[in-house]
Amino acid sequence: MAEDVLTPDFASYPWTPLERVEFSRHVVVHWADGSALDCHPLWLFENTVAVDPVTREATVDPGDLPPAESLRAAERRADGALVLTWADGRESVAHPGWLRSIAAGEHLPSFVPGPPVVWTAGLGEPPTFDGSHVLDDEAEFEAWLGAMCSFGLARLRRTRADRSLLEELARRIGPVRGSNFGGIFTVEAKLDADSTANTGLNLGQHTDLPTRETPPGFQFLHCVENTVAGGASRMTDGLAVVAELEAHHPAEYGALTTLQWVFANRARDGDHRWIGPIIDHGAPSSPLTLRAFYPVRLAPHMPAEDVERGYSALRVFSRIAHDPRFMIRNRFERGDLVGFDNRRVLHGRDEFDSGGGHRVLMGCYIDRDDVFSRLRVLRRRHEASGSDHPTADHPTRGEQAT
Ligand SMILES: [Fe+2]
């Protein structure tokens, strides 16, 4: 029965009985709704016979796997599980719900968080959740993280506005990704600023730390004080910018995705450097990374005759990133906490008068892997309990928010 079938992970799966099993060289399992999965015998061996019951990891080195022909029989058990008989007489069983999850692609990294919701100025406000009890309410926490992963940004309102809250919240998600700004950093206007972030200057739409091989995934900013006039936060979905460039500015899109620039930070005690294009699509399975922070773009790394079109393309990129059709603008209120995908969403800030009050944001980075991992674990628990999700205060508008 279901309880006797080990799966190669710690998730729980609904029991979705197989309708029939075909076996020739491969095993093909079928469900009553017409879906099917083609399974190689060695893959079945690794995930049934060779699973360590404690760690749920595979235990057999590929060099020690038996020949594929050692699978002698594959049959449907009366309860709908898959039973496998091996040449040495061993039997193993595969959970039909686990097989079904593979057939449905639920094991793929992209299944959670799911497809991105691309947005433009019509979004108006970031998806917003009640932050007053987020530390005690797992469902609210999960809903906020889920929206943050789909939209690339989501806000909590009414959080406790003190300097320790962000670290407490970050710890619930995963390890803080340190940088030359430290672990948890403060964004406020200073006389001896080490970054333009710590001035009252306007900051053009950008992504942080293109100086890194892998720039930080998510960025979190928590407003603990804001009594200045101006300084509104601006956000632009990089996915919408890239789509606009690709559709209407193909020459500039080509330049932005292929011409390389050297990025270097200018800290007195740090010297991080990286080379990449502004729109970095990376390897086939990597997410989009925008390397868009002019304060640390050091030099073109391209043939001299390409530099002119490199700058022209940057000008068009900037124009679209600041275009009111694509950008939203929101003031940080005390207690607001915004999380956003630093490699996808461009952020910026209106200038403010640092003599006219205080604007203090606490900030940190957490890598995308850690955010997605926390979301998967919360979803798993939530699905096992069968409770409802809270919804955003600010309604969302389906797949394409405009
Ligand atoms: Fe920034």
CATH number of the domain to which 379 belongs: 3.60.130.10
Cα–ligand 1 centroid distance for 138 (angstroms) = 29
Q: Which residue has the higher pLDDT, 21 or 192?
A: 21
Q: Which tokens hold the place of 170? A: 């970050």
pLDDT reported for residue 228:
86
- Is residue 113 one of the residues assigned to a domain? no
Confidence band for 402, pLDDT divided at 50, 70 and 90: very low
Q: b vs e for 25-49, b when ≥16 Cβ sit within 10 Å of the residue's Cβ?
A: ebbebbbeeeebbebebbebbbbbb
Provide the CATH number for the domain around residue 63. 3.30.2020.30
pLDDT above 80: residue 339: yes
User: Using one digit for the tens of pLDDT, what is the confidence trace for 269-323?
Assistant: 889 999 999 999 988 888 899 999 998 999 999 999 999 999 999 999 999 999 9
Centre of ligand 1 from the C-alpha of residue 221, in Å: 10
pTM above 0.75, yes or no: yes
228 and 88 within one domain: no
Same domain, 210 and 294: yes
pLDDT on residue 229 = 86
Model pLDDT, residue 317:
98
> Does residue 95 share a domain with residue 122?
no
**Span 56-65, mean pLDDT?**
95
If asked whether residues 53 and 30 sit together in one domain, one would say: yes
Mean pLDDT, residues 198-222: 93
> What confidence score (pLDDT) does residue 1 get?
62
Distance from the alpha carbon of residue 128 to the mean position of ligand 1, in angstroms: 21
Confidence of residue 392 (pLDDT cuts 50, 70, 90): confident
Rg (CA), the chain: 25
Provide the domain limits for residue 83: 2-103
Rounded Cα gap, residues 353 and 172, in angstroms: 35
Beta strand residue intervals within 135-176, DSSP E: 153-157
- Average pLDDT of the chain is 92
**Mean predicted confidence (pLDDT) in 140-165:** 96
Would you say residue 195 has pLDDT above 80?
Answer: no
Q: What is the structure's pLDDT at 389? A: 65
Question: Is there a domain that residue 64 lies in?
Answer: yes
Q: Do 1 and 30 meet the contact criterion of CB atoms below 8 Å apart?
A: no
- Cα(186) to ligand 1 centroid in Å equals 12
C-alpha of residue 342 to centroid of ligand 1, in Å: 8
Q: How close is the Cα of 347 to the center of ligand 1, in Å?
A: 6
Asked, for residue 112, whether it belongs to a domain, the answer is no
153-194: pLDDT as tens digits: 999 999 999 999 999 999 999 999 999 888 999 988 776 777
Number of domains composing the chain: 2
**Are 44 and 71 found together in one domain?**
yes
CA–CA–CA angle 73, 74, 78 (5° rounding): 120
202 and 316 in a common domain: yes
Residue 72 tokens read as 């002698």
* 144 CA → ligand 1 middle, Å: 21
Q: How crowded is the C-beta side of 160, counted as CA atoms within 13 Å?
A: 12
For 357-371, write each residue's pLDDT tens digit: 888 999 999 999 999
| DSSP at 305 | G
Please provide residue 310's backbone torsions phi and psi, each rounded to the nearest 5 degrees: -60, -45
Within a domain: 109: no
Token couple for 234 = 């601006």
The fraction of the chain above a pLDDT of 90, given in percent, is: 80
Residues 344/237, Cβ–Cβ less than 8 Å:
yes
Asked if 321 and 381 sit in the same domain, the reply is yes
